[in-house]
Structure 1
Amino acid sequence: MNKYLPFVYANQKEDEFSKFLKKGTSKKYSINVSDFWIYFNVKSQKLPDSGWKGHLAARPEDKYKVFQIAKAVFEANDCSFKVAKNIECFKILNDPHIPVAEANKFITFYPQNINVFKIVIKQLFTKLKNFKAPQIFTDYQLPNNSCVQFRYGAFKKIARWDLKAQKELLYMTLPSGEIIEDSRVGYFDLPEGVEWPFGSTEKWLLVPEKNISKQSKLNSYSFIEIMAQKNKGDVYLGVENVTGKQVIIKSANPYVKNDCAAYSAKELLRNENQMLRNLSNLNVIPKVKSYFNENNIEFQVTEFIDGKSLDSFFGKEKLLSVILSICNTIRLIHEAGYIIGDVTNSNFIYKDGITYLVDLEYVRKNANKKYKRTFKTPYYVPNYSTKTFLTQKEDLFSLGIIIITLTLGKTPKYNSENLNDAVRILINQNKLASKLNPQFSAFLDIANYILSLSIDPNPYVSENLNQNKIKDIYKYGFYVDSIKDFDTSLLMNSLEELPKQLKKSDYKIGEKWWKSKNFGQYVSELSIQHGISGVDTALKVSAEKLPIKQKVLDISNNFEYGDSYLFGSTGLIWNLIALFKEKEIDSSTLRNEAKKIILSWPEKKEVNDFVLGVSGKAYTLLYLNLLLKDASFSKELKKLGEKIFESFYDIDFETTNFSRINFAHGSVGKAYVLYLLGCYFKNRDFKSKAQLELKKADKIVDRSININKSFFSDSLKYSWCEGLAGIAFGFNRIELLSHGKIKFSSLSKIISFLSKGFCTIEACFCHGRQGILNTIFEYNQYHEKHFSKLDDLLQYDLLNFFNPSSGEWNILDETGYENAMDYGVGQLGVIVIDRMVFRKGENPFFIPIESEMTL
């Protein structure tokens, strides 16, 4: 069973708070529930696209009362609103560590016009005057830390995807009708062209200016830059005016707290200050310079450690020194009698052989009193309930995670709610990673030793972390007899059940049909990468869904690349092909439906690559002809082939960059398709041109691998779309298609290189491990000298997701933290490729090799 599928996140559950929010709601409202909010919309009321809207913040102890009072005001004024849907969502919004743009927005309300807005604001301010609340940073907060805050902004989401910045941009409509970006900076900003909604006589809403007195300690420092902004406060790089020395200035905002039992932002900073003073005799802690309060915000000033965060890439040569140093730092703090509580890479800085702990908010004295865990960084401790307590052994577990992260360049993933299972999974992962890339083994042996200490029944002593012990493990290795290997077949048998659950999702026309990454909302709903062509083909959904898709065929062309192989309607042809192969539709239906799609392609200038343009279309039409055993699409196919033939350009042979030669957007994908067309049409020019371009790419890859003998720090260089997995996919298929007459000197090197980098990237087909699995699987199928560690690759992948105690799966997307369902970058691509490798099947989005061999 997978509790997360299809897209059932933990925050989607209903709790007592959810029931309270809906209870006794006026019939004038319709209630809609999303993944994060409960919407209360006044029936038949039409709201503007943008306008003055309000927010309410609340402390954890006040949330029930604040909601009751506010709801009555909204109902009396026919005002629509939304509220955090359950306790967990409330905690997320009020978490001290959340970015400022969304922090503390417990309730959002949408007045239908400016007059209603002013009435609601004034009534709320009066009725909630006895409640204090944290600031909503994008809004104007009414006096005395009021719950009531407001801004001008969008009522309905207006957004687009910025290709250059690779992020979603939000927009709003001004009163003039002009659409501008809604930048949501970390402070209240009145957009140009928008008038302040209240008159100058309404003094009740004016916040007194917070002037800094001449005696303020803030005047002793100059601020250089903001290093971090979070709900709890900011971190600045500053300068001490008298000495000219650089310092770190931290602030703590008032009333920031997400649970009655949790620590507030101020309590966290005060605790850090006390711990810095308690541990000031250690040389691994920054020195405190000052602590003071200014306008109800607390500030701490410490010395600046000008080093490298342990989030950085250190390289093999320096890694042992860094590991020895971090072990020494934790040993010293433990020997002093303290628990660190939040041991993560980002909380340490390495400089001149010393690793400094620079975040001590959760440090506690290791005494008889037990301290409840109120915060965790994902994967640095297992997914415990909040009933557990801080211990030094948990610090050791987190230290093991730090060492794995330093070694692999990414945080390891596992699915466990207890320490023993987590350690077992991680040690098995590390053993596999060491087999795949022996240069990792010495460092991962150290991690395994430290992980095993965290579950050792014997009392932990800090001497376990002494330098000589760590050096011996680095030199001679470490093996844990008690940790048994997992059985791949057992894991796969459990994984087999997941697609059955995924089929339960229903479609609604005009909506995105499942949770996707932000970029996925800006491509055609028909696409393979983020849309129904990928999902339905992977799940072998029956033909009864076909009419629904035809209704959105025209809409698809409104998207950029809406007719392409990976991001558009061409992907739907692959869904038709899958239905045909499953005997859900006949050849006549396949031919006719495919023609409809092809006729819908707009006449335009387009790119020629595989993923977005001409080559992907030609590849698809070629497969149609092979399946239908006729020349239905030959005329169009020949025309596309001519375009590909003319599309190549000169390549710099000195480059080690794959942007010009990769499979998705570069020459290898185009040349692969051109060679197939050359075989199909018996066109020597096509074949010769393709071979020439592929040989150029072979030289560049060979040179790049010889230079980068260890591994790439850029994970995209391993990927199917932009890296080696896609290039090797093309090379391998051309070798097979030419019956060995064309050979690529870099191919076997790429396969070896991909296996070494496998553990350094996240899971997904397009950019992650599944692209590598797909390529190595195909390579193995047809090479006598096959790659012998394919089973190790598969087992490593599965160990990221399986919970051995519950039998549940938590399959993640390319972020390593979320559960997007998409085939290209989400859960489905992981499931499909892992099952394909285990079953020795075929990828439903490529022409089977046997079919290519008939050309």
Structure 2
Amino acid sequence: MINGTDYVKYIKNKSIPFYSHSNNKKDDSITFHSASYNKSNWNSIITDDWHYMMHNSNDLPDQGWKIHISANLEDAQEVLIKVSELLITTKVSFKFIPDFLTLELSYSKNADRIEAGKFITIYPKNDTEFCELLDPLKRITDQFKEGPYILNDRPWKQSNVYYRYGGFRAMTAIKDGRTIYVIRTPDGDFIEDKRVPYFSKPDFVNEPIYIQENNTYPNPETFAKLDSLNIKEALHFSNAGGVYVGKYKGHDVVIKEGRPFIGIDQKQCDGFTRIKAEYKTLMKLKYVAGVVDPIGYEKIWKHNYLIEEKIPGETLGEYMAVNFPFPNNSDVTLYKHNALQIIHKLVNLVKEIHQKGFAIVDFQPENIMIDTDKRHGTINVRLIDFESAGPLNNRYNPNLVTQDYTSFQSKTFKDADWYTLNRIARSIFLPVESTMFYSPELEKRQNKNIKFKFGKDVVDYLTKVQNLCAKHTTIYRQPAFYDGYVETPQESINSNNLAQNIAALEKGITQNINYDLKGLIYGDIKQYNDSLSWYAINYGTMGTIMALQRNNSNILRTSAFRNWLNKVEERIDSITKQDSSFNVGLFDGLGGIALILYELGHKDMAEELIHRCNSTHNALNISMYSGLTGLGLVNLVLYLSTNKNNYMRVAKQIADTIISRYHSGEFDNQEEYEGRLGLIKGWAGPVIFLWKLGTLINDLHYRSEAIIILDKIVATGIINTEQGSALSDKSKGMVRILPYLDTGFAGLSLVLMDINLDAPNIIRKKYSNIWETIQKDVGSFCTYQCCLFSGTAGLAMYSNTVKLNFNKTNSFDIYLQALNNFMLSTNRKNMLVPGQFGVKCSMDYETGAAGVLIALLNIENQINWLPLLANNPLNIFNSKPTTQLKVMK
């Protein structure tokens, strides 16, 4: 799973404002290299994440005991040389992390805990070779410093050599609707290859006798002091260690764990070092009332533990998520009153802590505790997490900080705190993603929205706070990772400027197309996931091409584009011939790619690619995004275009599979995940697919099954609020209300409005409360992102659909205005869109400019935003009923 840490590798190319690989050798990380080898005997393959060294004579099993080598950052290259010398001599295949930056990021606090520490992975051919390698590898690694403990492996004789049983090749299956890694039992069945943060082995496997007789373990007495902490539950885990609730010497406490050699920050301090430093800092701030009190400090085994008071309340981030008056018709009085109190107290806290000679540094909403006394109408504000804190005038080098609240141009810790205070104050009233720069003009556009919601007095107060902060820091900043000019676009987005806005977005894309790139555009970093990801709808080329095609862009008629497309067609053909494990989804894989090729006139190749998709559809989830629903729609629109019965046959097979899986309990047995009930990645997608298929061919069975699943979604997720019905989400351990196109109420409402066009009596009577809420179009004042699926652009498009269905809207213009919280430009004439985390921009469909462009095209001209063939008779989400065909069921 990709997180914010992974984006660091893709922000260092300062010549462009987009996420990309670095183009400057000075920015490149130190590349690791193995010992010398005979190239005729070894197959060397380098990806972004791994350098594979596979011996030509190896015929590796699909699964078995594999060995991992952990290494300290300081001597990782030397470890690799010595270990690879042994492996090359013994002809054992292996892989290693290819460069220092990737290794450093994998050791960072928020990287994947399950994979952290696995510098070298070794693939023994059998159990005998596995056992024979352990002691020689231990003798080699014993010469070097201790590396991170690998959580889901078992160490060999308490060394840097670890092992676990698992898959050598990626084998996957679908379990309760989710894709899992699997291994094969001796009976030939598949079971889950569990990726958990502790040692686990399948029941049918025993450790070899040699392991059982010779491995050594720490003395159990080493861990006895853990009992004194009386740990009751875990609040949070990261590579740096866990955060727990416990009881210590009669106190209810929070316990922060520090692990050595892991949880690395940019200063290469590990979790252990930071916890030790935090305890010392808190002791010096012990009498600052707004700072969490330290109660104790313990070192147990290799870890250390900071014990501190358990503060009542919730984090500021949680407080804002629950209490912010997002609905446009909500009363803002109480939130406004409390928010002003919070900011006032934060200002005083910063002053008091600075008077003690310290800066907070990792100053952000998740480290601010809010306890509301409703009886007296007061707010208590406390600060936690001083891992990064230090003396005021220390040189500032951002490490464990949150991008939204960071200025990479701050010079000192003191400077950074004042900058962050201003950002927090503004985000309390406008919780949106920060962009790669901040200027008076962008601030002016954002203040217009704050004033509309909360009044001029709030803008005046924020200006007063900003003026205070400006005495200590520079408020307006240029991009930290782009050397060029950035400003706000000349034209703001509004309903009177849509044609100009669309033209500006197209310019922002076409002016930055790069024919030297495999993928032509600069999308989200997930476009680098695999060879096919470059071209997928979501983060790759085809989603952007679709948006340009829908806008009849001249660039698609140039010889340069046509030459590029011909080469890409050959590349996609080659990729999908060589590797049958490619994604086939509408948004993430070959299904969507093929439809855009078809629309561009490459029909024969498109149909061949769809044939390859159709041969693999049984192992898919049910979603429109990456699964059966998307592939079913692909086949349905191709049937409508070609009248070839095989496409209708596959569409029906897919529909029958979805229905069967639903009635077999897949819906009920699924684990919660964000968007499980939603349109793009959840069960609302199958509802619209089954309904459209049933209506198209006049088959009551498919329509009835669509309504059965829709009933289940409503019963499971719809809740009543002050603003009417809402779609709830429980994936984060709390009940959240999500408005978005992909995961929330907007997507489900599109489904209801589409079905209503075909069968109005069903929707208006059966779901009358939801229908009334849709008509009200209460809307949301802002969203964190501006993108199509989970941001403002998608909600603006949805609100326009409400207007088309009911001849009225309450939120459409507000959404359009909210887009101006984000838009950037490199020449005032074009328009760029911030990508994930806002550090750089994106041109893609799901997170960037192509998605915003397709939303505005839909608003202006009712252009189909789904990556299905344009103007097809399904009429999905274009405010027209389904065109019924005269065909046999």
- Normalised TM-score (structure 2): 0.69
- SS of the counterpart of 2:311? coil
The one-letter amino acid paired with 2:642 is R
2:423 corresponds to 1:362: no
Q: Is the 8 A contact 1:58 1:147 kept in 2?
A: yes
- Mapping of residues 642-657 of structure 1, within 5 Å: 643-644=702-703, 648=707
Q: Which whole-Å CA distance do the structure 1 matches of 2:705 and 2:150 have between them?
A: 56
Q: Which whole-Å CA distance do the structure 2 matches of 1:286 and 1:240 have between them?
A: 16
Structure with higher Rg: it is 1
- Normalised TM-score (structure 1): 0.72
Q: Which whole-Å CA distance do the structure 1 matches of 2:800 and 2:204 have between them?
A: 59
Partner of 1:372: 397
Q: CA deviation at 1:210?
A: 5.0
Partner of 1:206: 216
- Mapping of residues 165-180 of structure 1, within 5 Å: 169-173=180-184, 179-180=190-191
Partner of 2:447: 431
The one-letter amino acid paired with 1:228 is H
Q: Is the 8 A contact 1:11 1:86 kept in 2?
A: no
Partner of 1:281: 287
In the alignment, structure 2 segments of 5+ residues that lack a partner are: 1-9, 325-333, 374-378, 475-486, 494-499, 521-526, 540-578, 663-678, 869-874, 885-889
Partner of 2:140: 127
Q: CA deviation at 1:721?
A: 6.4
User: Could you give the per-residue CA deviations for residues 699-742 of structure 1, whole angstroms, max 9, x where no partner exists?
Assistant: x99x863588xx9983434536651455267549968999xxx9
Q: Which whole-Å CA distance do the structure 1 matches of 2:164 and 2:842 have between them?
A: 32
Q: Which whole-Å CA distance do the structure 2 matches of 1:176 and 1:299 have between them?
A: 46
Indicate how the Cα distance of structure 1 residues 778 and 249 shifts in structure 2: closer, same or farther if over 3 A, else same. Answer: closer
Q: CA deviation at 1:94?
A: 0.8
2:719 corresponds to 1:659: no
Identity of aligned residues (%): 19
Q: CA deviation at 1:250?
A: 2.2
Q: Which whole-Å CA distance do the structure 1 matches of 2:266 and 2:789 have between them?
A: 43
The one-letter amino acid paired with 1:376 is V
User: Could you give the per-residue CA deviations for residues 490-515 of structure 1, whole angstroms, max 9, x where no partner exists?
Assistant: 7525434289559954999x985458
Indicate how the Cα distance of structure 1 residues 599 and 257 shifts in structure 2: closer, same or farther if over 3 A, else same. Answer: closer
2:617 corresponds to 1:556: yes
Partner of 1:616: 689
- Mapping of residues 67-106 of structure 1, within 5 Å: 67-106=80-119
- SS of the counterpart of 2:795? helix
Q: Which whole-Å CA distance do the structure 2 matches of 1:68 and 1:139 have between them?
A: 23
Partner of 1:776: 799
Q: Which whole-Å CA distance do the structure 2 matches of 1:810 and 1:36 have between them?
A: 27
Match of 2:154 among 124, 127, 140: 140
- Mapping of residues 578-657 of structure 1, within 5 Å: 590-593=641-644, 595-603=645-653, 604=656, 607=659, 612-613=685-686, 615-616=688-689, 619=692, 637-638=697-698, 640-641=699-700, 643-644=702-703, 648=707
Partner of 2:575: none
- Mapping of residues 666-705 of structure 1, within 5 Å: 705=723
Q: CA deviation at 1:92?
A: 1.5
2:45 corresponds to 1:32: yes
In the alignment, structure 1 segments of 5+ residues that lack a partner are: 462-481, 578-586, 623-635, 667-699
User: Could you give the per-residue CA deviations for residues 347-397 of structure 1, whole angstroms, max 9, x where no partner exists?
Assistant: 122235322211001111113x42433332232215x3xx86443342233
Indicate how the Cα distance of structure 1 residues 621 and 728 shifts in structure 2: closer, same or farther if over 3 A, else same. Answer: closer
Q: Is the 8 A contact 1:60 1:259 kept in 2?
A: no
Q: Which whole-Å CA distance do the structure 2 matches of 1:414 and 1:293 have between them?
A: 39
User: Could you give the per-residue CA deviations for residues 77-110 of structure 1, whole angstroms, max 9, x where no partner exists?
Assistant: 2222222233331122111343531222222221
Indicate how the Cα distance of structure 1 residues 66 and 235 shifts in structure 2: closer, same or farther if over 3 A, else same. Answer: same
Q: CA deviation at 1:341?
A: 0.8
Match of 1:350 among 355, 363, 370: 370
Q: Which whole-Å CA distance do the structure 1 matches of 2:82 and 2:441 have between them?
A: 49
Q: Is the 8 A contact 2:194 2:200 kept in 1?
A: no
Q: Which whole-Å CA distance do the structure 2 matches of 1:755 and 1:81 have between them?
A: 54
Q: Which whole-Å CA distance do the structure 2 matches of 1:820 and 1:617 have between them?
A: 34
Indicate how the Cα distance of structure 1 residues 754 and 830 shifts in structure 2: closer, same or farther if over 3 A, else same. Answer: farther
User: Could you give the per-residue CA deviations for residues 503-547 of structure 1, whole angstroms, max 9, x where no partner exists?
Assistant: 954999x985458999xx999955434334445656854425412
Q: Is the 8 A contact 2:148 2:260 kept in 1?
A: yes
Stretch of structure 1 that moved more, 494-503 or 129-138 = 494-503
Q: Is the 8 A contact 1:311 1:345 kept in 2?
A: yes
2:255 corresponds to 1:195: no
- Mapping of residues 290-329 of structure 1, within 5 Å: 290-313=296-319, 314-315=322-323, 317=334, 319-320=338-339, 321-329=341-349
The one-letter amino acid paired with 2:71 is A
User: Could you give the per-residue CA deviations for residues 810-851 of structure 1, whole angstroms, max 9, x where no partner exists?
Assistant: 6546x9899999967887544422454467744355458597
Q: Which whole-Å CA distance do the structure 2 matches of 1:459 and 1:260 have between them?
A: 25
User: Could you give the per-residue CA deviations for residues 654-699 of structure 1, whole angstroms, max 9, x where no partner exists?
Assistant: xxx972699xxx9xxxxxxxxxxxxxxxxxxxxxxxxxxxxxxxxx
Q: Which whole-Å CA distance do the structure 2 matches of 1:541 and 1:6 have between them?
A: 29
The one-letter amino acid paired with 1:380 is Y
Partner of 2:195: 184
The one-letter amino acid paired with 2:193 is D
Q: Which whole-Å CA distance do the structure 1 matches of 2:44 and 2:280 have between them?
A: 48
- Mapping of residues 400-479 of structure 1, within 5 Å: 400-403=422-425, 406-407=428-429, 412-416=432-436, 421-422=437-438, 427=443, 430-431=446-447, 433-434=449-450, 438-439=453-454, 450=465, 454=469, 456=470, 458-459=471-472
Q: Which whole-Å CA distance do the structure 2 matches of 1:346 and 1:715 have between them?
A: 20
Stretch of structure 1 that moved more, 316-325 or 818-827 = 818-827
Indicate how the Cα distance of structure 1 residues 731 and 400 shifts in structure 2: closer, same or farther if over 3 A, else same. Answer: farther
Q: Is the 8 A contact 1:733 1:849 kept in 2?
A: no
The one-letter amino acid paired with 1:138 is N
Q: CA deviation at 1:292?
A: 3.4
Q: Is the 8 A contact 2:68 2:122 kept in 1?
A: yes
- SS of the counterpart of 2:139? helix
- SS of the counterpart of 2:257? strand
Greater RCO, 1 or 2 (C-alpha within 8 Å, sep 6+): 2
2:304 corresponds to 1:254: no
Q: Which whole-Å CA distance do the structure 1 matches of 2:623 and 2:410 have between them?
A: 50
Partner of 2:571: none
Q: Which whole-Å CA distance do the structure 1 matches of 2:851 and 2:624 have between them?
A: 21
Stretch of structure 1 that moved more, 825-834 or 107-116 = 825-834
Q: Which whole-Å CA distance do the structure 2 matches of 1:6 and 1:602 have between them?
A: 45
Q: Which whole-Å CA distance do the structure 2 matches of 1:550 and 1:821 have between them?
A: 30
Indicate how the Cα distance of structure 1 residues 31 and 307 shifts in structure 2: closer, same or farther if over 3 A, else same. Answer: same
Q: Which whole-Å CA distance do the structure 2 matches of 1:323 and 1:275 have between them?
A: 24
2:247 corresponds to 1:221: no
User: Could you give the per-residue CA deviations for residues 269-303 of structure 1, whole angstroms, max 9, x where no partner exists?
Assistant: 12211110111111112222222333332222222
Indicate how the Cα distance of structure 1 residues 249 and 820 shifts in structure 2: closer, same or farther if over 3 A, else same. Answer: same
Q: CA deviation at 1:41?
A: 2.0
User: Could you give the per-residue CA deviations for residues 179-213 of structure 1, whole angstroms, max 9, x where no partner exists?
Assistant: 4333333333344332223527965x524425249
2:745 corresponds to 1:719: no
Partner of 2:33: 21
Indicate how the Cα distance of structure 1 residues 269 and 801 shifts in structure 2: closer, same or farther if over 3 A, else same. Answer: farther
Stretch of structure 1 that moved more, 538-547 or 845-854 = 845-854
Indicate how the Cα distance of structure 1 residues 412 and 397 shifts in structure 2: closer, same or farther if over 3 A, else same. Answer: farther
Partner of 1:531: 589
Indicate how the Cα distance of structure 1 residues 304 and 130 shifts in structure 2: closer, same or farther if over 3 A, else same. Answer: same
Q: Which whole-Å CA distance do the structure 2 matches of 1:177 and 1:495 have between them?
A: 53
The one-letter amino acid paired with 1:438 is K
2:326 corresponds to 1:339: no
- SS of the counterpart of 1:282? coil
Indicate how the Cα distance of structure 1 residues 68 and 212 shifts in structure 2: closer, same or farther if over 3 A, else same. Answer: closer
Q: Is the 8 A contact 1:763 1:816 kept in 2?
A: no
